[in-house]
Structures are given as C-alpha cells and as structure tokens.
Amino acid sequence: MNSEKLKIAVLGGTGNIGEGMVLRLALQNLMPDGVKNEIIIGSRALETADEAAKGALSELENCGFDTSKITITGMNNLDAAQAAEVIILTIRFDHVLPLLEEIREAIENKIIISPVVPMVKEEGLMAYRPPVEGSAALAIKKNVPESTRVVAAFHNIPAGKLKDVVKCKAVHDALVCSDDAEAKKLVMELTRHMGCLKPLDGGPLKQANTMESLTPLLINLAKLNGLKDLGINFS
C-alpha cells in the first residue's frame, strides 16, 4: 500500500451493489479495527459519480454517523482506477471487458476485486452463463495486465443487506478466492469489517465458478419462495 489510507475505487459504484459496498467500506473509517480508506465512486459520467458520492455521505449522515472521518468522492471510471490501489468492478459482466480495455494502463500493479456474476434470465428464472474461460473472474484475469492481481469476492451478498447499514444484523459468509495470497488477505480483511459478512477462504481463482454459480440459485430461491435478499451461511 502506498498511503496510510487505502484508496478504493468502486467502478459502477452508482449502481445497486456498488452503493452498498461504498457505504460499508466508508463505515470502516469509524471502526477501531476497520481498514481506513478513501472511497472513489467511478461512473461513466463524472456528474453521476459526484451525485452518488454526495448521496452516500448524506445517507450516512441521515443514519446518524459522523462523516468527518469519511472521504467519498466521484470521478469518471478511468480517473477513479488511476487514483486507486484497489478497484472493485461493480458492473455487469457484459460491460466488464470493454471497461477493462479502457482502464488497462491504470490497473497495472493493482488489485481488482470481481463480484461479477455472468447470468441470464430464462423462463423467468436466472441461469449461470460463464464465458469460455470458465468464470467471470478467469475472463477478467485473462484481460488485465500480468501485474494486476485479481480477487473474486462478494458474489453471494445481496445488495439490499449491504445497503441497509442500520437495520441489517444478519451475518453472511463471503467467499473470497485468488491466486495471490497477499491480495486475498487484504480483501478478507476488508470483508471482515463490512459489518454483515464473515470472510471464508474459497481457494485459488479457478474456484470462482463455483462461487459465481451460487448467485442465480439464491435469486431463484428468493423468487420461488417469496423471500428477499437471501445470503449464505455454511454451518
């Protein structure tokens, strides 16, 4: 890490799970053991990113948190990737590879976190549709510079629970996999302080397909059984 505070870019942080990630990461600055950080929300449009950053800060204020130690700013995706040490890709799989091409030089020697699940809707239910590489994580690995360390995480965490920073007391297991031990350790540490997650080591990156494939199952179970925001607990 280059600085005292870890600079984390959440690309597509204007969206559903991105919003929850931003709030949970920002709150770590108020926890004694949390990973101290500065958050940069990335968007295709600077204006949208700025609005999302202001929105996240006022959401935390409205929930009664002291935001004086929290930094959330907005940038376009390329500037956000350039400014950060850790980059979270909270965008849909269809848009991931073109974005990686755009930010390729900015992600040299950095950590990329993928919660990306390639899936399609078929006859009203979700189905896992991995690319030829075997998983979104392996496709991402193939399309980043060799120096970029890829960590797959957060696939099975419902956005609704991440966003509900006040009421959500559930703690779900969060599987993390990577071929880089140091990067995996950092992501597990970030996960441990999210307030609603317990990190579990999921092994090397080639295991990401097993993690990604659980998400359509969770969405389908929720739909078929009238449930909401299902997560996983292995016990």
Ligand X SMILES: NC(=O)c1ccc[n+]([C@@H]2O[C@H](COP(=O)([O-])OP(=O)(O)OC[C@H]3O[C@@H](n4cnc5c(N)ncnc54)[C@H](OP(=O)(O)O)[C@@H]3O)[C@@H](O)[C@H]2O)c1
Point out which residues bind ligand X (CB under 6 A).
12, 14-18, 43-44, 48, 90-93, 95, 99, 115-117, 154-155, 157-159, 215
- 210: Cα within 13 Å, side-chain hemisphere: 10
> Smallest distance, Å, CB 115 to ligand X?
4
Least Å from the CB of residue 99 to ligand X: 5
Residue nearest to ligand X (CB): 15
- Residue 114 CA to chain centroid, in angstroms? 6
d(CA 91, CA 98): 11
> Nearer to ligand X by C-beta: 5 or 92?
92
Q: Is the dihedral of CA 58, 60, 61, 62 positive or negative?
A: positive
Nearer CB in complex with ligand X: 16/210: 16
State the minimum distance, in angstroms, from the CB of residue 44 to ligand X: 3
- Bridge partners of 151, per DSSP, are 113, 178
Q: Which of 86, 44, 72, 51 is nearest to 186 (CA)?
A: 86
Quote the least distance from Cβ 110 to ligand X, whole Å. Answer: 18
Per the DSSP assignment, residues forming a β-bridge with 152 are 114, 177
Nearer to ligand X, 30 or 222 (CB): 222
